[in-house]
Amino acid sequence: MDRLRCGVIGVGWQGGGHLANLQADPRCELTAICDLNEALLAERAAAFGVPHTFTDFRQLIACEAVDAVIVVIPDHLHREPAMAVLEAGKHLLLEKPLAVTVDDAEAIAATARSAPGTFMLNLSNRFMHAFAAGKAALEAGQYGAVKYVWCRLANRLEVPTTRLPWLQHSHLAHWIGIHRLDIARWYIGSEVRRVRAVERRGVLAAQGFDTADFVQATLEFDNGAVVNLEANWILPAGWPSLVDSRFYCLCERGVIDVDRTRSELSMAGESFDLNTPGAGPVHGRAAGFTVEAHRHFVDCCFSGATPLVGAADGLALAKALCAVVESCRLDGEVIELS
């Protein structure tokens, strides 16, 4: 195989980023896209010069000109296309989360275990320089074991109100909480045993969105480590970045503190923008963590190596985050994971 022929199912917000990453990689050829939204499909096909377009994902998966598929449709719809790609023996890059129910997550993970193709879950934050450097220091034994992590990921209000028409089918724990819990679990190297979480509604409910404003969870791991995880998506328009991202990891002999909100770059015009770096081209060349995640997937497709984030990670995270959602539903009842 000299070039990886790729198809993308779902070309919305995040799907658009995947199209750009594919186009920037000389090892890849963007051969097919699929979306239910025909106007968007036509617009993307014209913008990226894609020869094959489909509204039925089964047709894209069956297309002879496709070796690898990127699935980028809403969180609660991942099961069917993901399993179809794996069953067709093609390579799969699946957007996070693996699924929003344990049943769906187990089904995808079981299929991935016996599938011949490469499978990667796109938890792209593992490819941010700071988080990768922290992991390398932990692996080198520099700071000893992780004792606890406090972390937050938040979005400005415009994300749930203008960008996610399907938000009531997912949960902000699956939408953004997953990114920080993934890093915490990766650093801790153990599995979640017990969860207690609460959420509150108000700001979004008043605007007609049937979803929580924030969630706060405490997750205890088998090895004794503890994670305090916060997620919210009601940051005001004046917050100077689309995200607020904090991560404080206390170890036996050190601290790893990643503050991605206070970035190195600030720009001000009519408004002040902290412009969280990490994505976007450098001198016209694709760069940043999303590009690194994509390159890693393509590397693994060519070499046969196992990607850094697999179905087992996705399943463990789905179990923990479904427990978070369930504990919220029960107003803070403790959930034990088997």
The residues of the shown chain that bind ligand NAD, judged by CB under 6 A, are 9-15, 34-37, 40, 57, 72-75, 77, 95-96, 122, 124, 175
Least Cβ distance, residue 72 to ligand NAD (angstroms): 5
Residue 78 CB, nearest approach to ligand NAD (Å):
7
Question: Min. distance of Cβ 331 from ligand NAD in angstroms?
Answer: 26
- Nearest approach, Cβ of residue 12 and ligand NAD (Å): 2
Alpha-helix residue ranges (DSSP H) falling in the chain: 13-24, 38-48, 57-62, 79-87, 102-114, 129-139, 158, 172, 178-188, 203-206, 289-303, 311-329
Give me the least distance between CB of 6 and ligand NAD, in Å please.
Answer: 16
CB closer to ligand NAD out of 36 and 42: 36
The residue among 75 and 244 lying less far from ligand NAD, judged by its C-beta, is: 75
Q: How far apart are CA 321 and CA 99, in angstroms?
A: 10
Work out how close the CB of 261 gets to ligand NAD at its nearest, in angstroms, rounded to a whole number: 16
Q: Which is nearer to ligand NAD, 161 or 190 (CB)?
A: 161
CB 310 within 8 A of CB 112: yes
Closest to ligand NAD by CB, 225 vs 291, is 291
Closest CB to ligand NAD: residue number = 12
Q: Measured from the CB atom, is 36 or 62 closer to ligand NAD?
A: 36
Between 311-329 and 178-188, two packed helices, what is the crossing angle to 10 degrees?
Answer: 120
Residues 307 and 153: their CA atoms lie apart, in Å, by 24
Closer CB to ligand NAD, 73 or 311, in the complex? 73
> Is residue 112 within 8 Å of residue 311, measured between CB atoms?
yes
Here the tokens at position 30 are: 């963007």
DSSP character string of 80-142: HHHHHHHHTT-EEEEESPS-SSHHHHHHHHHHHHH-SS-EEEE-GGGGSHHHHHHHHHHHTTS
Are the CB atoms for 107 and 130 separated by under 8 Å?
no
